[in-house]
């Protein structure tokens, strides 16, 4: 990834082992740093949305190119979150400079002139030259970086998402090989569908998967009743097993009225098997990305509507930029000035990126 390397005793603690945290850890380890990645939950596979790896602003630095190649597996098409995560996870496991520690929730971060550290829920301390918060839209590390603006806020709508095997629907509905994305007209709400490679990588008809995302601004009351959204804050997603039966019936009726095939068959299968998740959308425009030795990246740093399809790529650029800021110091290792440079390069682009999605959210959200 990089020919240059930093002093081998330099260390970083990354909070969060999802896409942003893994990319940051991998890039910094390749640059020679000792990396500890702490993740709140266990290693159990998680499902996720379909992602477009290649959308959004470009950065063709060697670090960014190398991360993009690794994350995408060389594919330019949309793909499952889980496919990207498993490639990054394998690369992190493969790097002896990275220690991945699961089931370890962080409850705070702090620093002095010499180092930064995080404290786990059991009181254990992990310290390093720098701490990076890659802990998502409800980031705890963000509280230390931006105490005046610690929270992302609910954007006023949700997205129902699911991924299923093509085999789960009748063969007559399997899309033609060249059909990649469809955006059928909805009544108010709308649906995005993608045909992606199968779990084993196959793109053969019958072996692929269908991913769909149904943008819905009519069920905020449900999110509030079930505690997913409280006040202006998103607390958690709504998983299939917790969706009330009458909501599933309403969704199936609406799908029958609105979506053409194959998306009707796909949504009905996901509804009938409860294999769908409602994600309340939140937004965060950052004023700061760094406080001395502590920085934030990914959704901890900027949360934008998924319609922009740019959050993942922005996380990749965060990782590449921060790593390059450290490498560019050519031996004069000064983490505070490297992180300050990272902020000066990334703050404006990510502010503009989130703001550009807000016009959609303001018209669609309620
Ligand atoms: C429906 C949907 C569709 C999307 N589509 C696209 C797309 O097409 N293109 C695109 O570029 N982006 C897309 N995005 C955005 C993209 O998925 C994210 O921006 C990207 O994956 C970066 O996420 P992250 O790793 O920062 O955060 P997350 O995935 O939220 O990860 C945060 C991690 O931190 C861990 N964590 C949280 N708190 C703690 C704690 N206290 N201690 C330890 N660990 C903690 C969590 O368990 C989690 O593993 C989409 C998002 C959604 C919701």
Domain boundaries, the chain: 9-150+283-363, 152-280
- Listed residue (158, 150, 155, 133) closest to 49, CA to CA: 158
Q: Which residues contact 182 (CB under 8 A, 6 or more apart)?
A: 192, 193, 263
Nearest CA to ligand 1 atom 35: 16
The residue nearest atom 20 of ligand 1, judged by CA position, is 312
Which band of pLDDT confidence, cut at 50, 70 and 90, is reported for residue 167? very high
Residue 336, pLDDT > 90, answer yes
In the structure, which protein residues have their CB atom closer than 6 angstroms to any atom of ligand 1? 15-21, 38-41, 49, 51-52, 55, 105-106, 134-136, 140, 159, 161, 213, 279, 298-300, 306, 309-313, 315
Output the CA 79–ligand 1 centroid distance in Å: 15
Q: Does residue 81 surpass a pLDDT of 70? A: yes
- 51: β partners: 79
Q: 195 is written with which tokens? A: 């045909």
The topology (CATH level 3) of 9-150+283-363 is: FAD/NAD(P)-binding domain (3.50.50)
Ligand 1: atom nearest CA of 301 is 26
pLDDT of residue 8: 58
Among 73-82, 277-286, 297-306, name the one with the lowest average pLDDT: 73-82
Distance 18 CA to ligand 1 centre (A): 6
pLDDT at 90 over 90: yes
Residues 306 and 159: beta-carbon distance below 8 Å: yes
pLDDT for residue 176: 82
More confident of the two residues 330 and 230: 230
| Between 17 and 309, residue with greater pLDDT | 17
pLDDT at 57: 66
Q: Which atom of ligand 1 is nearest to the CA of 213?
A: 1
How far away, in angstroms, is 145 Cα from ligand 1 center? Answer: 19
CA of 257 to the centre of ligand 1 (A): 32
Cα 253 to ligand 1 centroid, rounded to whole Å = 31
Q: List beta partners, residue 177.
A: none
Return the structure tokens found at 64: 């960014």
| Closest C-alpha residue for ligand 1 atom 3 | 306
Residue 90, both tokens: 């394998």
Range with the largest mean pLDDT of 71-85, 153-167, 186-200: 153-167
Predicted pLDDT of residue 4? 60
132/35 Cα distance (integer angstroms): 10
**How many whole angstroms from 330 Cα to the centroid of ligand 1?**
32
Ligand 1 mutation pick, 298, 301, 322, 346, max ligand atoms within 8 A of CB: 298
Closest to 333 measured CA to CA, from 130, 87, 126: 130
Q: Which two tokens stand for residue 271?
A: 């509804």
| Res 84 pLDDT > 80 | yes
Q: How far apart are CA 74 and CA 66, in angstroms?
A: 10
Q: Is 138 helix (H, G, I), strand (E, B) or coil?
A: coil
Per-residue buried b or exposed e for 68-106, using 16+ beta carbons within 10 Å of the residue's own CB? bebbbeebebbbbbbbbbebbbebbeeeebbbbeeebeb
Longest CA–CA separation in the chain, Å = 65
- Distance from residue 136's CA to the centre of ligand 1 (Å): 5
> β-strand 50-51 against 290-291: which pairing, if any?
unpaired
* Architecture label for domain 152-280: 2-Layer Sandwich (3.30)
């Amino acid at each position: 990834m990089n020919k240059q390397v930093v002093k081998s005793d330099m260390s970083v603690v990354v909070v969060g082992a999802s896409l942003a945290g893994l990319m940051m850890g991998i890039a910094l380890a390749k640059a020679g740093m000792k990396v500890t990645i702490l993740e709140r939950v266990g290693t159990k596979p998680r499902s996720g949305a379909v992602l477009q790896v290649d959308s959004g602003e470009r950065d063709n630095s060697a670090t960014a190119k190398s991360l993009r190649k690794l994350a995408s597996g060389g594919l330019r098409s949309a793909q499952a979150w889980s496919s990207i995560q498993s490639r990054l996870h394998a690369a992190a496991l493969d790097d002896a400079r990275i220690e991945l520690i699961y089931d370890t929730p962080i409850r705070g971060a702090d620093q002095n002139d010499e180092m930064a550290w995080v404290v786990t829920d059991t009181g254990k301390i992990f310290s390093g030259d720098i701490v990076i918060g890659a802990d998502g839209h409800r980031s705890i590390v963000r509280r230390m970086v931006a105490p005046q603006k610690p929270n992302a806020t609910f954007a006023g709508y949700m997205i129902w998402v699911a991924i299923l095997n093509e085999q789960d629907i009748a063969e007559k509905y399997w899309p033609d090989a060249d059909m990649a994305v469809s955006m059928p007209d909805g009544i108010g709400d709308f649906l995005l569908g993608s045909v992606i490679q199968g779990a084993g990588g196959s793109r053969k008809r019958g072996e692929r998967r269908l991913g769909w995302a149904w943008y819905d601004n009519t069920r905020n009351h449900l999110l509030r009743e079930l505690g997913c959204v409280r006040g202006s804050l998103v607390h958690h997603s709504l998983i299939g097993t917790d969706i009330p039966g009458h909501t599933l019936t309403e969704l199936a009726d609406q799908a029958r009225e609105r979506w053409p095939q194959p998306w009707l068959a796909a949504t009905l299968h996901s509804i009938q098997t409860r294999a769908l998740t409602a994600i309340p959308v939140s937004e965060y425009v950052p004023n700061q990305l760094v406080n001395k030795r502590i920085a934030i990246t990914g959704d901890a740093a900027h949360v934008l509507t998924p319609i922009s399809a740019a959050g993942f790529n922005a996380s990749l650029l965060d990782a590449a930029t921060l790593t390059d800021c450290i490498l560019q110091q050519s031996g004069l290792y000064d983490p505070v000035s490297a992180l300050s440079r990272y902020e000066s390069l990334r703050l404006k682009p990510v502010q503009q990126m989130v703001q550009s999605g807000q016009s959609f959210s303001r018209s669609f959200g309620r």
